[in-house]
Amino acid sequence: MRPEILFPLFAPSTALKGVGPKVAPLVERAAGPLVRDVLFLAPQSLIERRLAKVEEAREGEVQIFAVTIDAHLPPGRSSHPYRIRAADETGFIFLSWFKGYGPHLLRQHPVGSQRAISGKVELFNIERQIAHADYILPIEQIAEIPPIEPVYPTTAGLPPRSLSKLVLEALAKAPDLPEWQDPAWLAKQQWPSWREAMAQLHAPQSLYDLAPLSPARRRLAYDELLAHQLAMAQRKAVNRSEAAPVIPPSALAAQLEGKLPFSLTGAQIRSLGELRADLGSGQRMSRIVQGDVGSGKTVVAMLAMADVAALGRQSALMAPTEILARQHFETIADNLESIGVSTILLTGRDKGAARSAKLAAIASGEARVVVGTHALFQDEVRFDALSLAIIDEQHRFGVSERRRLQGKGEAVHMLALSATPIPRTLELTVFGDLDVSRLDEKPPGRKPVITNAAPTTRLDQAVERLRAAVAGGAQAFWICPLVAESDLLDVTAAEVRAAALTDALGDAVGLIHGKLAPAEKDRVMAAFAEGRIGVLVATTVVEVGVNVPRASIMVIEHAERFGLAQLHQLRGRVGRGSAQSACLLLYDPPLSQTAQARMEILRETEDGFLIAEKDLELRGGGDLMGLKQSGFPAYRFADPAAHRDLLMAAADDARLILARDPALASLRGKAVQVLQHLFDWRAAEGWAAAG
């Protein structure tokens, strides 16, 4: 139950003066539905106002002038602005308004009255003007014009000044809250109290106060991270407390391992060991295995499924797309069948009698391993004894979907696979409620992918080289990026490129994109996989997981539009076979510094974990690149790059608090509960709910 002290903050924004049913939706868009959300809206910049003489008026600056109203100049035509001429001893300045302000302005600011005015100065030739002045006050009130004013990210229809007022009102409603932070830590950091930090947030004195490193911002970021870490730690404890079947390492899995044409890498052995320790613990597993594409995650998962099958129990492996599900199936089915583990594929395309037969095999337990897509969530899919659910690219699934799969058995062990490596410093944030295994070692014998960048002006040369390579039997991906936000435009761009390449290279060119019918996609993928297509033009549908070992060339058009993590993922499609592979990053010059840095990093390394760290370092303000995509929570105050140090501290703190006082019953525990309610991170969200 929400503590009473927070009630004023959890009132709807209509509790603020000036917010009625009309304005509330605007406030919701800018901040959120609650008074708390308005309070939490951090200023993104500030206006500094300086008192000046009119002759010192500077284009684009916000200044304050002490003037006398000199004349009212009503517009000759309705499309023209209403203007007031004002002056000080150094010159004239015009105040202007569009639309019907006349009589009212004349009454309020008669000729001869002295006014303090402020607003952004515009210069037209020699004429100085302020359109829609922020302030026009009687001269005695000049001190009421704030010399520094925070600017909030607002939304159309809600003037910035109205929003500022609402924020101040929300601040006035903010109570003093009991201190939840450890007093010694607070003193060491020299942070203000929560209430004081909120006040400072909304009263920046300089740009420094807006920076993530200012004490108020750090305090608030820490509060937020602590609330989140507490929720994660609680969730993890709940997960752990659930009894689950003990699944020991099996002879069957050993047999399967013996049949593999390679031996496991050190990282695979370690990860499999971690997995097996969970499976054998009698408690429910919640683990994620992170590793680059090709690092051997599927193989590890397959061995765990063999352990489960050895007990007569079932596993489900779920992939976000049809193509991926099919590929997983192809990778593991023969292997598992070879040791007598019946494996089936269930996708949305299974219909009629074939589907019924598969459902029956799942329900009877005859199918020990089921690979599939979202189709696995459907109510008709019933398992006999589901004990292990494996989710590939878990961030592509919603919490409720994961829960539904888990609900298809009792105390189902959960394993996630992710090809989007998260830097270690962020693991706690993204996967705080999971145990993490890292496949940070590639299977031996892979040749590095030669990576180069070139401007699009050299596209013709690139096509020439491609022609030669394809003539020599090579196969290539050609990736066309997201154009704007529209799938349709993407498709058009890909179609245009495919046509141009067909002109240049003949009919060895194929095209695949998100709008193709599933069967058509399969047909094209199969043709490419079998070598009947030389160049596969694709939108980013090939991004995750697609395995065509024969393909050795990756061309990425408009590489500057992709984030580092995404480029890395795309490049990971090649370099999987024995041939030397190459990746060409075509970019539209000029490159931004960040884009240039991204390409340099890609040329230097293929280590996904290292690339993820660099990605984090390069991240500019607000640019989340791969992070959001990988389930990074939407923090209000915390910045994953700038507050990295606080992340670790908050995680430790959360653990300590819960170890000492699991029920949060002590005085500090009660304060901590207030914190949790304040931020609303719900402990009950369940498995890996960070996304």
Instruction: Report the interface residues with ligand ADP, using CB under 6 A.
Output: 262, 264-265, 268, 291, 293-299, 331, 443
Q: Which helix (H) or strand (E) holds 450?
A: strand 450-455
420 binds, among Mg ion, ligand ADP, none (CB under 5 to 8 A by kind): none
Give the nearest distance from C-beta 293 to Mg ion in angstroms.
6
Sign of the torsion angle spanned by Cα atoms 633, 636, 640, 644: negative
Half-sphere exposure of 120 (CA within 13 A, CB side): 4
235 vs 326, which CB is nearer to ligand ADP? 326
Give the nearest distance from C-beta 294 to ligand ADP in angstroms.
4
Give the nearest distance from C-beta 391 to Mg ion in angstroms.
12
291 binds, among ligand ADP, Mg ion, none (CB under 5 to 8 A by kind): ligand ADP
368 vs 576, which CB is nearer to Mg ion? 576
245 vs 631, which CB is nearer to Mg ion? 631
Of the candidates 214, 212, 227, which has an alpha carbon nearest to the alpha carbon of residue 181? 227
265 binds, among ligand ADP, Mg ion, none (CB under 5 to 8 A by kind): ligand ADP
Give the nearest distance from C-beta 264 to ligand ADP in angstroms.
5
Of the candidates 4, 13, 51, which has an alpha carbon nearest to the alpha carbon of residue 31? 13
Q: What is the distance between the alpha carbons of residues 322 and 343, in angstroms, rounded to a whole number?
A: 16
Give the nearest distance from C-beta 298 to ligand ADP in angstroms.
3
611 vs 618, which CB is nearer to Mg ion? 611
Give the nearest distance from C-beta 267 to ligand ADP in angstroms.
9
Show the beta-strand stretches assigned E in 456-499. Answer: 475-479
Spatial CB neighbours of 657, under 8 Å, sequence gap ≥ 6: 230, 664, 668, 669, 672
64 binds, among Mg ion, ligand ADP, none (CB under 5 to 8 A by kind): none
Closest residue to Mg ion using C-beta atoms: 298
Contact 34, 11 (CB under 8 A): yes
Q: What is the distance between the alpha carbons of residues 401 and 122, in angstroms, rounded to a whole number?
A: 55
294 binds, among Mg ion, ligand ADP, none (CB under 5 to 8 A by kind): ligand ADP
Give the nearest distance from C-beta 447 to ligand ADP in angstroms.
13
181 vs 547, which CB is nearer to ligand ADP? 547
Give the nearest distance from C-beta 557 to Mg ion in angstroms.
25
Of the candidates 501, 492, 477, which has an alpha carbon nearest to the alpha carbon of residue 570? 477
Residues forming the site for Mg ion (CB under 5 A): 298, 545
285 vs 293, which CB is nearer to ligand ADP? 293
264 binds, among ligand ADP, Mg ion, none (CB under 5 to 8 A by kind): ligand ADP
Give the nearest distance from C-beta 414 to ligand ADP in angstroms.
17
Contact 638, 681 (CB under 8 A): no
Phi and psi torsions of 274, nearest 5°: -65, -45
Q: What is the distance between the alpha carbons of residues 250 and 280, in angstroms, rounded to a whole number?
A: 11
303 vs 494, which CB is nearer to ligand ADP? 303
13 vs 566, which CB is nearer to Mg ion? 566
296 binds, among Mg ion, ligand ADP, none (CB under 5 to 8 A by kind): ligand ADP
The CA radius of gyration of the chain, in Å to the nearest whole number, is: 31
Contact 613, 423 (CB under 8 A): yes
Of the candidates 608, 642, 549, 530, which has an alpha carbon nearest to the alpha carbon of residue 217? 642
Q: Tell me the two tokens of residue 374.
A: 């979202």
Phi and psi torsions of 689, nearest 5°: -85, 10
116 vs 419, which CB is nearer to ligand ADP? 419
Q: How many residues does the chain have?
A: 691
Give the nearest distance from C-beta 292 to ligand ADP in angstroms.
7
Q: How far apart are the first and last CA of the chain?
A: 24
Give the nearest distance from C-beta 541 to Mg ion in angstroms.
16
106 binds, among ligand ADP, Mg ion, none (CB under 5 to 8 A by kind): none
203 binds, among ligand ADP, Mg ion, none (CB under 5 to 8 A by kind): none
Place of tokens 């990746």: 583
Amino acid letter, residue 134 = D
421 vs 432, which CB is nearer to ligand ADP? 421
68 binds, among ligand ADP, Mg ion, none (CB under 5 to 8 A by kind): none
Buried b (16+ CB within 10 A) or exposed e, 514-531: eebeeeebbebbeebbee
262 binds, among ligand ADP, Mg ion, none (CB under 5 to 8 A by kind): ligand ADP
296 vs 631, which CB is nearer to ligand ADP? 296
Q: Tell me the two tokens of residue 534.
A: 């030389």
Phi and psi torsions of 511, nearest 5°: -135, 135
Buried b (16+ CB within 10 A) or exposed e, 199-219: bbbbbbeeeebbebebebbbb
DSSP characters over 86-98 = EEETTEEEEEEES
